[in-house]
Amino acid sequence: MKTVQIIFLLFLTIPFVEIYLLLQIGGIVGIFPTILLVVFTAVLGTWLLRRQGFITWRRFQDNLAKGEIPAYEMIEGPILLVGGVLLLTPGFFTDAIGFACLIPQVRQIFAKYILEKYLIQPQTQSHFQKTTLENNTLEGKCKRED
């Protein structure tokens, strides 16, 4: 399936899953506890998102200060953003996915998968690449005129 088809399918099925879960949980605990639970998960998610966002931002800055590329942190930022949006969406299914995005270990697994699958291309060892990497120095003379 194409990505657009998958997204379209998700937009169709997720609301039905959310409504089903809201009705089932509302039938068990009642309507007001269900509403309070949805509001509580949104507030808790916002607090956790802010905290995890600051931690990720601090790691980002620390890596830059060390002279390292903050690759994981650059991937974790959008994952946190998606998690925050899902937590603000009313419902239990999206809250579960949103909370999963806020767990640092799960986020690192997602980030590692994205980096290895889509962003880091494997190096092939060929004679052409070795010679071009070794012979990329230009020699010449420079004269500065004021």
Given a contact cutoff of 8 angstroms between Cβ atoms, the answer to whether 64 and 75 are in contact is no
pLDDT 10s digits, 42-57: 899 999 999 999 999 9
pTM of the full structure: 0.71
At 22 the pLDDT is 93
pLDDT band for 119, please (50, 70, 90 cuts). confident
55: containing domain: 31-119
Q: What is the pLDDT of residues 6-51, one digit of tens each?
A: 989 988 999 999 999 999 999 999 999 999 999 999 899 999 999 9
pLDDT tier at 138 (50, 70, 90 boundaries)?
low
* Tally of domains in the chain: 1
Does the residue 4 lie in any domain?
no
Residue 139's H or E segment, with its range, is none
Q: Is the residue at 131 inside a domain? A: no
Q: Can you give the pLDDT at residue 59?
A: 93
Evaluate whether residue 129 is within a structural domain. Answer: no
Over 70: is that where the pLDDT of 122 sits?
Answer: no
**DSSP element (H, E) containing 122:** none
Residue 12 is assigned to a structural domain of this protein: no
* Domain membership flag for residue 145: no
Residue 142 is predicted with a pLDDT of 72
Quick check: 102 and 83 in contact, CB under 8 A? yes
